[in-house]
Structure 1
Amino acid sequence: MSFSIRLSPEERMLADSYAKLNSMSLSEAFKKALFEKIEDEYDLVIANEAYDEYVTSGKQSRPIEELWEELDL
Protein backbone atom coordinates (compact mmCIF):
# COMPACT_ATOMS: atom_id res chain seq x y z
CA MET A 1 0.00 0.00 0.00
CA SER A 2 1.25 3.47 -0.70
CA PHE A 3 -0.01 6.90 0.25
CA SER A 4 1.05 10.50 -0.04
CA ILE A 5 1.13 13.37 2.41
CA ARG A 6 1.56 17.07 1.95
CA LEU A 7 4.42 18.73 3.81
CA SER A 8 5.41 22.35 4.06
CA PRO A 9 8.92 23.10 2.82
CA GLU A 10 10.10 23.33 6.46
CA GLU A 11 8.51 19.97 7.33
CA ARG A 12 10.11 18.39 4.26
CA MET A 13 13.54 19.74 5.23
CA LEU A 14 13.15 18.39 8.77
CA ALA A 15 12.02 14.97 7.53
CA ASP A 16 14.84 14.80 4.98
CA SER A 17 17.39 15.77 7.63
CA TYR A 18 16.10 13.11 10.02
CA ALA A 19 16.23 10.44 7.33
CA LYS A 20 19.76 11.37 6.29
CA LEU A 21 20.95 11.52 9.91
CA ASN A 22 19.68 7.97 10.41
CA SER A 23 20.89 6.67 7.04
CA MET A 24 17.45 5.73 5.79
CA SER A 25 15.09 6.72 3.06
CA LEU A 26 12.32 9.21 3.70
CA SER A 27 9.81 6.39 3.33
CA GLU A 28 11.62 4.30 5.96
CA ALA A 29 11.77 7.29 8.31
CA PHE A 30 8.01 7.87 8.11
CA LYS A 31 7.27 4.17 8.48
CA LYS A 32 9.55 3.90 11.52
CA ALA A 33 8.02 6.99 13.14
CA LEU A 34 4.48 5.76 12.53
CA PHE A 35 5.04 2.34 14.04
CA GLU A 36 6.99 3.72 17.01
CA LYS A 37 4.07 6.06 17.74
CA ILE A 38 1.58 3.19 17.48
CA GLU A 39 3.70 1.02 19.78
CA ASP A 40 4.10 3.82 22.34
CA GLU A 41 0.35 4.45 22.46
CA TYR A 42 -0.39 0.72 22.72
CA ASP A 43 2.12 0.38 25.59
CA LEU A 44 0.48 3.31 27.37
CA VAL A 45 -2.98 1.74 27.09
CA ILE A 46 -1.69 -1.59 28.43
CA ALA A 47 0.14 0.15 31.29
CA ASN A 48 -2.97 2.11 32.26
CA GLU A 49 -5.09 -1.04 32.20
CA ALA A 50 -2.55 -2.86 34.39
CA TYR A 51 -2.43 0.04 36.84
CA ASP A 52 -6.24 0.22 37.04
CA GLU A 53 -6.35 -3.52 37.67
CA TYR A 54 -3.73 -3.15 40.43
CA VAL A 55 -5.64 -0.31 42.08
CA THR A 56 -9.01 -2.06 41.99
CA SER A 57 -7.52 -5.34 43.27
CA GLY A 58 -6.75 -3.73 46.62
CA LYS A 59 -3.21 -5.10 46.62
CA GLN A 60 -0.59 -3.10 48.47
CA SER A 61 2.98 -2.55 47.39
CA ARG A 62 5.79 -3.33 49.79
CA PRO A 63 9.43 -2.35 50.13
CA ILE A 64 11.81 -4.20 47.82
CA GLU A 65 13.91 -5.12 50.85
CA GLU A 66 11.08 -7.43 52.00
CA LEU A 67 11.21 -9.29 48.71
CA TRP A 68 14.99 -9.58 48.87
CA GLU A 69 14.73 -10.97 52.39
CA GLU A 70 12.04 -13.42 51.29
CA LEU A 71 14.31 -14.61 48.45
CA ASP A 72 17.42 -14.68 50.65
CA LEU A 73 19.20 -12.10 48.50
Structure 2
Amino acid sequence: MSTISLRVPDNELAIFKAYAKHNNSSLSEIIRTTMLAHIENEYDLKVFEDYEAQKASGTLKTRPVSALWDELKL
Protein backbone atom coordinates (compact mmCIF):
# COMPACT_ATOMS: atom_id res chain seq x y z
CA MET A 1 0.00 0.00 0.00
CA SER A 2 1.29 3.46 -0.85
CA THR A 3 1.36 6.59 1.26
CA ILE A 4 0.59 10.11 0.10
CA SER A 5 1.13 13.42 1.84
CA LEU A 6 -1.43 16.20 1.77
CA ARG A 7 -0.93 19.75 2.96
CA VAL A 8 -4.02 21.54 4.25
CA PRO A 9 -4.60 24.58 6.44
CA ASP A 10 -5.07 23.79 10.14
CA ASN A 11 -8.72 24.87 10.09
CA GLU A 12 -9.50 22.46 7.24
CA LEU A 13 -7.65 19.64 9.00
CA ALA A 14 -9.82 20.22 12.06
CA ILE A 15 -12.93 19.91 9.88
CA PHE A 16 -11.64 16.70 8.28
CA LYS A 17 -10.78 15.16 11.66
CA ALA A 18 -14.15 16.11 13.13
CA TYR A 19 -15.93 14.59 10.14
CA ALA A 20 -13.91 11.37 10.45
CA LYS A 21 -14.63 11.14 14.16
CA HIS A 22 -18.34 11.78 13.60
CA ASN A 23 -18.37 8.91 11.10
CA ASN A 24 -16.29 6.57 13.30
CA SER A 25 -13.62 6.36 10.63
CA SER A 26 -9.98 7.21 10.17
CA LEU A 27 -8.93 10.36 8.39
CA SER A 28 -7.22 8.24 5.71
CA GLU A 29 -10.40 6.26 5.07
CA ILE A 30 -12.52 9.41 4.84
CA ILE A 31 -10.13 11.04 2.36
CA ARG A 32 -9.86 7.86 0.28
CA THR A 33 -13.60 7.17 0.08
CA THR A 34 -14.45 10.83 -0.54
CA MET A 35 -11.93 11.03 -3.39
CA LEU A 36 -13.23 7.82 -4.97
CA ALA A 37 -16.83 9.05 -4.66
CA HIS A 38 -15.88 12.33 -6.33
CA ILE A 39 -14.21 10.49 -9.23
CA GLU A 40 -17.23 8.20 -9.60
CA ASN A 41 -19.61 11.17 -9.64
CA GLU A 42 -17.59 12.91 -12.35
CA TYR A 43 -17.54 9.71 -14.42
CA ASP A 44 -21.31 9.25 -14.03
CA LEU A 45 -21.91 12.85 -15.10
CA LYS A 46 -19.70 12.37 -18.19
CA VAL A 47 -21.59 9.20 -19.16
CA PHE A 48 -24.91 11.04 -18.72
CA GLU A 49 -23.70 14.04 -20.75
CA ASP A 50 -22.54 11.72 -23.55
CA TYR A 51 -25.93 9.98 -23.50
CA GLU A 52 -27.78 13.31 -23.70
CA ALA A 53 -25.54 14.51 -26.54
CA GLN A 54 -26.17 11.32 -28.52
CA LYS A 55 -29.91 11.59 -27.86
CA ALA A 56 -29.95 15.23 -28.99
CA SER A 57 -27.98 14.50 -32.16
CA GLY A 58 -30.10 11.49 -33.04
CA THR A 59 -27.13 9.09 -32.90
CA LEU A 60 -28.25 7.23 -29.76
CA LYS A 61 -28.61 3.52 -30.41
CA THR A 62 -31.03 1.61 -28.22
CA ARG A 63 -32.48 -1.88 -28.17
CA PRO A 64 -35.36 -3.55 -26.38
CA VAL A 65 -34.67 -4.82 -22.88
CA SER A 66 -35.78 -8.26 -24.05
CA ALA A 67 -32.63 -8.37 -26.22
CA LEU A 68 -30.53 -7.85 -23.10
CA TRP A 69 -32.37 -10.63 -21.28
CA ASP A 70 -31.78 -12.94 -24.23
CA GLU A 71 -28.10 -12.03 -24.34
CA LEU A 72 -27.76 -12.75 -20.61
CA LYS A 73 -29.86 -15.91 -20.96
CA LEU A 74 -32.32 -14.73 -18.31
TM-score, normalised relative to structure 2? 0.75
SS in 2 for 1:24: coil
Which segments of 5 or more consecutive residues in structure 1 lack a partner in the other structure? 60-73
Q: Determine which structure has greater relative contact order: mean sequence separation of CA pairs < 8 Å that are 6+ residues apart, divided by chain length.
A: 1
Paired residue for 1:24? 25
CA RMSD, 1 decimal: 1.5
In the alignment, structure 1 residue 40 sits paired with structure 2 residue 41: yes
Deviations along 1:3-24, whole A, 9 cap, x unmatched?
0011111011000011011110
- In structure 2, relative to structure 1, the CA distance for the partners of 1:58 and 1:39 (3 Å cut) is closer
Paired residue for 2:10? 9
Distance 1:58 1:37 in 2: 29
Alignment of 1:45-60 (within 5 A): 45-57=46-58
Identity %: 29
Q: Say which one has the larger Rg.
A: 1
Q: Which amino acid aligns with 1:30?
A: I
Distance 1:17 1:35 in 2: 20
